[in-house]
Amino acid sequence: MFHDPDFTPFTPRETPSFLAVSRNYLENYAPEAYRTDFFSAKGLWPFFPRMHYVVSPELIEELLVTRADAFRRDDIASKALRGPVEGETLFFSEGAEWKWQRRAISPAFRYENILALVPFFVRCAQAQAAEWRRLDDGATVEITEAMSRTTFAVIEKAVFGASENFDGERFIAALRPVLGSFAWRMLAVMFRLPPDWTPYPGLLAARAGSRFVHEATAKLLAERRARKEETRDILGLLLSAKDPESGRVMTDAELVANLHGFLLAGHETSAVALAWTFWLLAKDQASQQRAREEAERVAGDGEVTPETVENLVFTRQVLQESMRLFPPFAALGRQPREDTTLGPYRVAAKEPVYVLTWCLHRHEKLWDDPTGFDPDRFAPEQAKARHRYAYLPFGAGPRICVGMGFALTEMATIVATLLREFRFETVPGHRLELAPTFAMRPKGALPLRLTRLSRETPVTRTERQIPA
């Protein structure tokens, strides 16, 4: 078990504060949230709807799994995210519309399709390694930025194959103000103001960014349609997706919305999860060395492959423990379709219910020493002894993350590839502050010091294409 004061980066407030909502809304969950099962709050102001918070695995199972049909996405997040995330996407669809989209999209994320992408995951990690190789030993890097570039390269290639006309750097730069606007948009919605028109810092940049990413995604789709070739990347699989019951295929609006959603959610979540993972390993050098030795064993003189990636067992445990302490999504929201109950509690239709993943993952009754870092919590025996819904970085039930297998395989490959070549250390004097918006981001930078180890990541032996 490894401890560090940065693993408890703020003190929960006894009474909620308006300022904390835009700074770090997690501060507003009182100490009680880490001990109880369920609590309700009137919101910060009398005219806010009453909100309910769930931190019990049994109630979570009821909400997300056994009675999932009785709830839809919560109104606050839906209104705040719609615009930056497009309406026709799987993420926002409900009922029969959601069922058909999920059926159409799921095959693209089948395990054999994900494994076929492992060489690309390696290549993207190697491109990052090549950049770092140019730095002096002991240089400081901003790990969140570096991982954003790496995971964006991954998702871009996995989704679209290659496109010469796509400017990934510009796309990421345009996304930054969009992602940064979420906390303000939530606040606007909570005040019943229109999030697209309420002034907040960075509104114009967020609007321009949103427009740019939408247009760039639509252009990519048009380009692919013009080329008329069949490919096995995610777009290719979506283009050929057909509902087995109705024969329906995806419209261009649905395709653009989902591609845009994958580019946005698929890279930001994995980027922050990887950044926290390297930062935690920089704190806990013993776990870093153990993961490095595993990577050496698994990859030998070559690289991680579709056949060996499964053997990165400890690396996956590290990733799971990292997403426990710093879950990329700190909360999941639902809205009852009508007045109902959850366990013994009454919940009105207008009252949203939130699963507080951050508090659940640090719950005093569910975890020994909840703020310590210990990847062995996820060793099979220990994991089996826990309630299945005590840990949910990817959600649960029918709406569980469709990209979960993709993200876990991608992240394990990237961690193993980079650990073999670099040692990661923390920068003295840096103190962590959180600034969660769309995902669990640190405030400002998350700096790490890099030292190059003697071995070099081997260059990919063959220039592979996405398997046809």
* Cβ distance to ligand HEM smaller for residue 259 or 295: 259
Q: Closer to ligand HEM at the Cβ: 91 or 367?
A: 91
Nearer to ligand HEM, 157 or 292 (CB): 157
Minimum distance of ligand HEM from residue 399's CB (angstroms): 4
Task: Decide if 212 contacts 174 (C-beta within 8 A).
Answer: yes
The reply on whether position 375 binds ligand HEM by CB under 6 A is no
**DSSP single-letter state for residue 63:** I
Binding-site size for ligand HEM (CB under 6 A) equals 23
Q: Determine, following the binding rule CB under 6 A, whether residue 336 of this chain makes contact with ligand HEM.
A: no
Check residue 236 for interaction with ligand HEM (CB under 6 A): no
Place of tokens 């099979």: 380
d(CA 445, CA 154): 22
What is the spatial distance between Cα 305 and Cα 299, in angstroms, rounded to a whole number?
8
Q: Does 328 bind ligand HEM (CB under 6 A)?
A: yes
Closest distance to ligand HEM from the beta carbon of 235 (Å): 11
Q: In whole angstroms, how close is the CB of 136 to ligand HEM at the nearest point?
A: 31
CB atoms within 10 A of CB 381: 7
Which residue is nearest to ligand HEM, using beta carbons? Answer: 403
Q: Which stretch binds ligand HEM (CB under 6 A): 17-25, 35-43, 212-220, 265-273?
A: 265-273
Place of tokens 């649905």: 254
Q: Tell me, what amino acid is at 462?
A: T
User: What number of other Cβ atoms are within 10 A of residue 251's Cβ?
Assistant: 10
Binding of ligand HEM by 329 (CB under 6 A): yes
Q: Compute the least distance from the CB of residue 93 to ligand HEM, in Å.
A: 8
Identity of the residue, 203 or 315, whose beta carbon is nearer to ligand HEM in the bound complex: 315
Measured between alpha carbons, how far is 239 from 252 in angstroms, rounded to an integer? Answer: 9
Q: How far is the CB of 227 from ligand HEM (least distance, A)?
A: 22
Q: With b meaning 16 or more CB within 10 Å and e meaning fewer, what string describes 228-247? A: eeebbbbbbbbbebeeeeee
- Pick the closer one to ligand HEM by CB: 45 or 111: 111
Of 358, 408, 360, 352, nearest in space to 388 by CA:
360
Residue 15 main-chain phi, psi, to 5 deg? -125, 140
Work out whether 241 is an interface residue with ligand HEM (CB under 6 A): no
Among residues 24, 78, 270, 417, the one that binds ligand HEM under rule CB under 6 A: 270
Shortest distance (Å) from residue 323 CB to ligand HEM: 6
Scanning residues 378 to 407, which ones bind ligand HEM (CB under 6 A)? Answer: 393-395, 399, 401-403, 406-407
Report whether 458 contacts 303 (CB < 8 A). yes
- Cα gap 182→438, rounded to integer Å: 6
Asked if 266 is part of the footprint of ligand HEM (rule: CB under 6 A), the reply reads yes
Q: Decide whether 157 or 423 has the Cβ nearer to ligand HEM.
A: 157
Name which position in 13, 99, 102, 283 contacts ligand HEM (CB under 6 A): 102
Scan for tokens 């102001």, then name that residue.
Answer: 45
Whether residue 200 contacts residue 220, with contact meaning beta carbons closer than 8 Å, is answered with no
Instruction: Using the rule CB under 6 A, give the single segment among 212-220, 246-254, 263-271, 420-428 that binds ligand HEM.
Output: 263-271
Q: How far apart are CA 303 and CA 417, in angstroms?
A: 7
Residues 401, 71: Cα–Cα separation, whole Å = 17
262 binds ligand HEM (CB under 6 A): yes
90 binds ligand HEM per the rule CB under 6 A: yes
Identity at 56, one-letter amino acid code = S
In this structure, what are the phi and psi dihedrals at residue 338, rounded to the nearest 5 degrees?
Answer: -150, 175
Tokens of 99: 């069922």
Smallest distance from ligand HEM to CB 46, Å:
28
Contact between 160 and ligand HEM (CB under 6 A)?
Answer: no
Residue 29 or 121: the one with the smaller Cβ distance to ligand HEM is 121
| Interatomic CA distance for residues 26 and 149, integer angstroms | 27
Least distance to ligand HEM from the beta carbon of 418, Å? Answer: 16
Interacting residue with ligand HEM among 9, 177, 261, 352 (CB under 6 A): 261
State the Cα–Cα distance between residues 2 and 371, nearest whole angstrom. Answer: 9
Asked if 257 interacts with ligand HEM (CB under 6 A), we say no
β pairing state of 447-452 and 140-142: antiparallel
Tokens of 456: 């070099």
Binding site for ligand HEM (CB under 6 A): 90-91, 102, 155, 261-262, 265-266, 269-270, 273, 328-329, 332, 393-395, 399, 401-403, 406-407
